[in-house]
Structure 1
Amino acid sequence: MAFTPLDEVAMGNITGQAGVTIELETRLNIDRFIYTDEGSLEINDIFIGGANRTDMFSEMNINLNGDANDRLDNIRVNIDIARDGDAIINLLPISFNAVDFRMSTGAWNLTGTGGNTTILDNFKVDMLIGSGTIRVDTATDTVRFLTDIAIDDMDFDIPFLAMGIRDLQLTGANYDLSAPQPLRLFANVDLEIFKGANAAGVDVLAIEMASFEADLRIGGVLIGGTSIGSVAMDNLAITDTSLRIYGH
């Protein structure tokens, strides 16, 4: 076997090529997730995968999901390093389609010496993801996370309050149910994640969101197992949101 050394021109051509592409298909199950401080929070029966439905946002009368299955698929991940050193991770559908996503869990239990309390149960969310981008900026040491989401159906129970939520939908603020348009379906999420200072001047995990706008509809609010009616929020706007997260 013989090896031919690369000259400078050939090396330059290799360096100048595009980045890495990953096509993803997966399904995730976790029997139990436990976070322990003095007591514990247990989340049971976690599932992450495809929604396995062809009727999401049925008012559009189109199949947004392609072949329905319980796998998180139709995802292409493009990874590039820009000339200035920024890492750019771009998540796109493989076909011109949205990515269908489901997450469900069983009981969320608080446990300790005083006993057990179920704070959440029967959680399920079916949603569509239009796109996503993660950019690590070397000049500012900031991670910027952008995605477009639309929730078709979210259900959960809050047993210790005898409450439940059914048929929660979240869409873009300009989405009109009577004249639905796919490009207006999604609500945009834009987060910046970085090292920032808390009130005491200590470096902590910082998360900031300049604005978030969406329409929110809840088909049924249950009290004691009986619906007391529905709720709608038109043009919900959350602005100038800043979080500082640290231990105590």
Structure 2
Amino acid sequence: MAEIQMLDEAAMGNITGQAGVTIELETKVNIDRFIYTDEGSLEVNDIFVGGGNRNDYFSELGFNLTGQAPSDLIDNLRINVDIAADGDAIINILPMAFGAVDFTVKTGAWNLVSSTTADSTTILDNFQMDALIGSGTIRIDTATDKLNFKTDFAIDDMDFDVPFLAIGIRDFQLTGADYDLSAPQPLDLFASVDMDIYKAPNNAGVDSLAVDLQSFNADIRIGGVLIGGTSIGSVAMDNLAITNTSMLIYGH
């Protein structure tokens, strides 16, 4: 039998990983109810996060953008985790095979609930979003103590109702700012997001969660805006650009 020798700390210090870690992921998540409580509560019911179980995303392109068979799982997903020489943590989110990663988010009613009476208000209901992710990168920078998040994504279809205002949104679609429905190109499909997340003081000098949106460029189309169940028309925003936007989040 081979002899097993214990390594001392000096010997272990000379052992370094070179290739990082890769995670291949398939998953779906169901949550019956999510509750956030302050004095009253916000309840989100019947949450589902998984695959879209379809292969006709952005059908005007004429091919299966995921390159996979339909599934209700988030799949075709590879996560590479590396630690750079300067200590930065780098997490890359990529498809395992050529094609975008599809995902769907569905919920039931979002209710505001009183803690002292039987009163409640449904602020959102029948939410469903079918979307694609092209890529994503998370980098935690040791020099700046900032988390930088970049992703390319597109929303093929999103529907929801706002019952307390009698408003409904149908066929919401979000793409890259250069995506042209009359001459669609897959390389123009995805909208890009670049944001930094870090700690910063608010006006009172209290540490807060800071979010800086460096850039976001997209086209938005809404097939139908419903008032009282009747469509009042469609909406489009061409070349929407949001830049140099900052916010601080803290308790009060």
Distance (Å, rounded) in 2 between the aligned partners of 1:16 and 1:27: 31
Alignment correspondent of 1:64: 65
The percentage of aligned residue pairs carrying the same residue is 70
Equivalent pairs, count: 246
SS state of the match for residue 45, structure 2?
strand
For the structure 1 residues 140 and 122, does the alpha-carbon distance in structure 2 shift closer, same or farther, using more than 3 Å as the test?
same
TM-score with structure 1 length normalisation? 0.95
Alignment correspondent of 2:121: 117
Corresponding residue to 2:209 among 201, 205, 208? 205
SS state of the match for residue 187, structure 2?
helix
Indicate if the aligned counterparts of 2:157 and 2:173 stay in contact, CA closer than 8 A.
yes
Corresponding residue to 1:216 among 212, 216, 220? 220
Corresponding residue to 2:92 among 90, 93, 107? 90
Distance (Å, rounded) in 2 between the aligned partners of 1:117 and 1:4: 66
- 1:152-171 equivalent positions in 2, closer than 5 A: 152-171=156-175
Distance (Å, rounded) in 1 between the aligned partners of 2:11 and 2:134: 40
Deviations 1:75-106 (A, max 9, x none): 00000000000000110000011000100000
Alignment correspondent of 2:181: 177
Distance (Å, rounded) in 2 between the aligned partners of 1:9 and 1:205: 41
1:240 equivalent in alignment to 2:244: yes
Deviations 1:197-236 (A, max 9, x none): 1122221100001221100000000000000000000001
Distance (Å, rounded) in 2 between the aligned partners of 1:219 and 1:198: 40
SS state of the match for residue 160, structure 1?
helix
Distance (Å, rounded) in 2 between the aligned partners of 1:48 and 1:243: 27
Distance (Å, rounded) in 2 between the aligned partners of 1:59 and 1:132: 25
Deviations 1:9-59 (A, max 9, x none): 9986x5252100000000000000000011000000000000111111000
Distance (Å, rounded) in 1 between the aligned partners of 2:102 and 2:61: 15
Q: What residue identity is the alignment partner of 1:220?
A: G
- 1:31-70 equivalent positions in 2, closer than 5 A: 31-65=32-66, 66-70=68-72
- 1:187-198 equivalent positions in 2, closer than 5 A: 187-198=191-202
Question: 1:243 deviation in Å?
Answer: 1.0
SS state of the match for residue 59, structure 1?
helix
SS state of the match for residue 164, structure 2?
helix
Question: 1:3 deviation in Å?
Answer: 3.0
Distance (Å, rounded) in 2 between the aligned partners of 1:207 and 1:10: 39
Q: What residue identity is the alignment partner of 1:53?
A: R
SS state of the match for residue 242, structure 2?
strand
Question: 1:109 deviation in Å?
Answer: 0.1
For the structure 1 residues 40 and 11, does the alpha-carbon distance in structure 2 shift closer, same or farther, using more than 3 Å as the test?
closer
Distance (Å, rounded) in 1 between the aligned partners of 2:127 and 2:65: 23
Alignment correspondent of 1:26: 27
Distance (Å, rounded) in 1 between the aligned partners of 2:194 and 2:57: 24
1:74 equivalent in alignment to 2:80: no
Q: Once superposed, which parts of structure 1, at least 4 consecutive aligned residues long, lie more than 2 Å away? A: 3-6, 8-12
Cα RMSD (Å): 1.7
Alignment correspondent of 2:137: 133
Distance (Å, rounded) in 1 between the aligned partners of 2:206 and 2:214: 23
Distance (Å, rounded) in 1 between the aligned partners of 2:189 and 2:235: 19
Indicate if the aligned counterparts of 2:195 and 2:215 stay in contact, CA closer than 8 A.
no
For structure 1, the 5+ residue unaligned runs are none
